[in-house]
Amino acid sequence: MLPTIRITKALALPDNDQWQFRFNVESASSNRLYTISQHKVKKHWGCSCPGWKAHRTCKHLQALSLPCFERPFEPTIIIE
């Protein structure tokens, strides 16, 4: 069964030319916010954190049960 991602309107961000379903998550170790989103064409998920930028994997995607390493994945998205 595919996971369902619930995005609150307070954390939702507008789509841009490359990314959709954008939303912020809080860092567990600092006061930073990172943006998680799905690539519009390739359908993989990404994060704005240093881990994903350097290695294409991160704890933020893993916490949401989203695959890393730019593998396409389309969960159910609910914006509340």
Banded model confidence at residue 1, pLDDT cuts 50, 70, 90: low
- Compute the half-sphere exposure of residue 43: CA atoms within 13 Å on the CB side of its CA: 6
Whether 33 and 25 have beta carbons less than 8 Å apart is answered as yes
Provide the strand spans (E) within the chain: 4-7, 19-26, 33-39, 45-47, 76-79
Name the β-bridge partners of 77: 5
What mean pLDDT comes out for the span 16-44? 94
Location of structure tokens 């996971």: 3
What mean pLDDT comes out for the span 30-37? 94
Tens digit of each residue's pLDDT (9 = 90 or more) over 36-49? 999 999 999 999 99
What mean pLDDT comes out for the span 65-80? 92
